[in-house]
Amino acid sequence: IWWLDPELTYGNAKPFVFTQGHSVCNRSFFPCFDTPAVKCTYSATVKAPAGIQVLMSATQSTYLEEEGVYQFYMEYPVPAYLVALVAGDLIHADIGPRSRVWAEPCLLPTAISKLSGIVERWLTAAESLYGPYIWGRYDIVFLPPSFPIVAMENPCLTFIISSILESDEFLIIDVIHEVAHSWFGNAVTNATWEEMWLSEGLATYAQRRITTETYGAAFTCLETAFRLDALHRQMKLLGEDNPVSKLQVKLEPGVNPSNLMNLFTYEKGYCFVYYLSQLCGDPRHFDSFLRAYIEKYKFTSVVAQDLLDSFLNFFPELKEQCVESKAGLEFERWLNATGPPLAEPDLSQGSSLTRPVEMLFKLWTTEPLDSAAAASSVDLTKWRTFQTVLFLDRLLDGSPLPHEVIKKLSECYSSQLDSMNAEIRIRWLQIIVRNDYYPDLYKVRRFLENQMSRMYTIPLYEDLCTGTLKSFALEIFYQTQNQLHPNLRKTIQQILSQGLNPLPAIDTTAVTTDTPAMVLEDKVSEATNGAISLRDVNVSA
């Protein structure tokens, strides 16, 4: 349960509270069987002060104004982690026949302008693929930047971090992913967290089928290429033999399942589901199977064998061909082998969008550098966001770059990138930090002074502390720590404390007299892995 003082909201007017149950946190919210294997209906009575709007992930709600009491009822069985509550200075607007958006008053106009009319389009596309939307309403609430992940698929009421509002393409993908969870994850749920891919892999596949139907194959292939790049980056960091790269991960006693939220769960799971769809020959045949799968198992929890048995029974000709035992692509190997996916999708339909990225990256990284040719070849302001972040991610992977390259990159693109969304800006700032490019370092300070979100602060602090700029990071942290949620403050303190052994008290006289004194913790409970930042994960539960 996250309690926020007014200063941690956008409006700075009223306190705010929200819950985040995934994976096993709702045991601290109410007594429950905190496992996805158990589902039940629920009702709740919530009393709140006047002026505080309360919402829950429920199909029915009433409000008794004279008593200040809200009553909620979820008529369909759900696992404990999908019970969610949010309360604060929230107002709403309808954005479709069965959808409304909730946000703080200062954010509502932006939320309306980004989502009005299109959520119904996504829901209709999903229904055409996977059958009726069973939850009644599909509402969205935008939460303050302290929300610890990007989005959460609470039934009837998707939670999304407000910070993503400025990045249109990421907002589209994140909401569609949560829409897909209405079928895969919420209606049919993985019975154990050791098989989280049954929710995330299927939801990612469904998300991409929906985006293909609504935005075309090229856009879907571009987004997939961006995510698979991130998967291989994570693979390189963790090593191909790391057990967390299995789809069926073994949970040791005492391990929080949320620690297994990684890109293998999403992208390796997606690749397996995509492989199954290719065995059918036509994705529409696989859509038919998934509709039957949802109808058979809705409101229950399943294991991988349920999905695979249903698949083979639905396609008896594939069962006769023993596709589950095809050499090198055995279902068992997909589930239990470490390393990259055994097969990846054909993304050639996205070449019109990915080829320019590859060409520009080659121009900037081929020696000798012809900066004039590179600069004149592409206008980044005409690119899609996913093209720009794919380009910047590849520059990040190649950092540190030769000084001449980073200098010319800054001259060509810095002013353009400054006016783009946060998903683009943070990547450019990470390039600045990883290349120790001091002329643009002031932009890193300016960005961190205005960010309260974990996903836009942690990656930069990790990079600053990995290189030679830790003192610069400390200075910014002193100045901004009071605007950060205590949980985020603690995480950044842990990052800053790496390499300080023993940990001394910080000499605050080097900062300013009005800066609150801060002493880094004497013991760090868990070392932060600086190499694997949220840039590489960007989790939407």
The C-alpha angle with vertex 210 and arms to 425 and 384, in degrees rounded to 5, equals: 25
Read off the tokens for 478: 């002193």
- Contact between 213 and 182 under an 8 Å Cβ cutoff? The reply is no
DSSP 3-state of 306: helix
Instruction: Decide the pairing of beta strands 99-103 and 91-96.
Output: antiparallel
285 assigned binding-site residue: no
Is 181 annotated as contributing to ligand binding? yes
Helix axes 422-434, 454-466, angle to 10 degrees: 10
- Structure letter (DSSP) for residue 217: H
SS3 for 236? helix
How many angstroms separate the CA atoms of 332 and 272, rounded? Answer: 11
* Cα dihedral across residues 468, 472, 475, 476: positive or negative: negative
CA atoms within 13 A on the CB side of 319: 9
Is the Cα dihedral 299, 301, 307, 313 positive or negative? negative
41-44-46 Cα angle (round to 5)? 165
* Residue among 181, 199, 182 nearest 190 (CA): 199
Contact 176, 210 (CB under 8 A): yes
The Cα 239–Cα 338 span in angstroms is 9
The number of CA neighbours under 13 Å toward the Cβ of 191 is 10
State the catalytic residues. 178, 266
Rounded Cα distance between 16 and 193, Å, is: 30
For the record, the structure tokens of 383 come out as 């690119």
Instruction: Name which of 103, 95, 140, 102 is nearest 120 in CA terms.
Output: 95
Do the annotations mark residue 177 as ligand-binding?
Answer: yes
The number of CA neighbours under 13 Å toward the Cβ of 524 is 20
Cβ-contact 467, 436 below 8 angstroms: yes
| Amino acid letter for position 347 | L
Angle in degrees, CA 315, 316, 321, rounded to 5: 105
Is 423 exposed, middle or buried (CB count within 10 Å of its CB: 0-12, 13-18, 19+)? buried
DSSP string, 366-413: SSSP-HHHHHHH--GGGS-HHHHHHHHHHHHHTPSPPHHHHHHHHHHH
CB distance 126 to 182 below 8 Å: yes
Q: Which residues are annotated as a binding site for Zn(2+)?
A: 177, 181, 200
Q: Which residues are annotated as a binding site?
A: 177, 181, 200
